[in-house]
Amino acid sequence: MPSTAEIEVQHRLNDVQERVDAAAGRSARQTNDIRIVGVTKSHPFEVVLAAHEAGLTLIGENRVEEAIAKKSAAEELAELEWHMIGHIQSRKSKTVVQIFDIVHSVDRSKIADRLNRHAEQAGVRLPVLLECNVSGEASKWGWQLTEQEKWPEITDEFARIREMPNLDVRGLMTMAPMVAEPERTRPIFERLRNLRDYLENAVPGDWTELSMGMTEDYEIAVEEGATLLRIGRAIFGPRATENR
C-alpha cells in the first residue's frame, strides 16, 4: 500500500504536470522539452522516496550537507539525478562535484574555475548552467545582466568558461523575485530567453537549457521557454523553512 506521503506527492505532481502541459499548449511547445526538478530542500528523505515512486527522478537541493545525507540514503534508487540549485561556497566546490550530476548555479568565474579543476581531478565532465541575474535584485546571485547593452561585456568571460575542458555548459539559470502576481515575473523569464538567444550567436555552443520558474511562477516560465522547472512546495507541500 502506498504511504500517505506517496499519495499526496503523486496527487500534487499530477496537478503540476497538468498545469505544465496546459502552459506548453498555450505557447505551442512540446511538453517533453520541459523537465521538473523536485526541490526537496528542508524536507525529510521520505519525500525523495515518494517522488521516486511518483516517477519524478530529478531531485534539486540547495545545501551540500543535506544532499549528501539524502543521496547516501538513496543509494538503491539509481535512476535519480541530483541537481545543485543553490549558491556554492568556494570551499564546498569539490564536494559539489562529487555529489551532484548537474549544477544550475554557477554564478561567477571563480566557482567555474574551481569546479573545472575538481572535475578534472575526479575524472568527470560536469554539466553546468550559468546563473544570471536579469531581475536587477541586489539579493540575487549571478552575473548582473539586467541591461541588454551590457551583454557584449560578458561574451569573452562566458566563452572562456565554455572552453573549460571539464565543464559542459548547457544553458542559463535565473531566479525571479517573489511577487504577489506571477504575471509580473514574465519580463524576467523573457529576458533570460533573449539572453540565451543572444549567446547562441555571440558565443557558439549549446545553450538549450533554461532553468527558471518555481512554485509561484512555473506556468509563466513554461510559456516563456523554461526547460527546467525548480518546484518544491507545489509538489511536496510546505517546508519548515520557507525561503528559497
Centroid of chain to Cα 199: 19
Q: Indicate whether 241 pLDDT > 80.
A: no
Per-residue confidence (pLDDT) for residue 172, from 0 to 100: 98
Helix (H) or strand (E) holding 12: helix 4-26
Place of cell 569573452: 156
Q: How far apart are the first and last CA of the chain?
A: 33
Determine the Cα–Cα distance for residues 169 and 161; give it in Å rounded to an integer. Answer: 8
- Greater confidence (185 vs 77) lies with 185
Q: What is the set of domains in the chain, with CATH numbers?
A: 4-87+103-236 (3.20.20.10)
Percent of the chain with pLDDT over 90: 88
pLDDT tens readout for residues 21-69: 999 999 999 999 999 999 999 999 999 999 999 999 999 999 999 999 9
Determine the Cα–Cα distance for residues 141 and 104; give it in Å rounded to an integer. Answer: 12
pLDDT tens readout for residues 191-204: 999 999 999 999 99
Per-residue confidence (pLDDT) for residue 139, from 0 to 100: 85
pLDDT tens readout for residues 130-184: 999 999 888 889 999 999 999 999 999 999 999 999 999 999 999 998 888 989 9
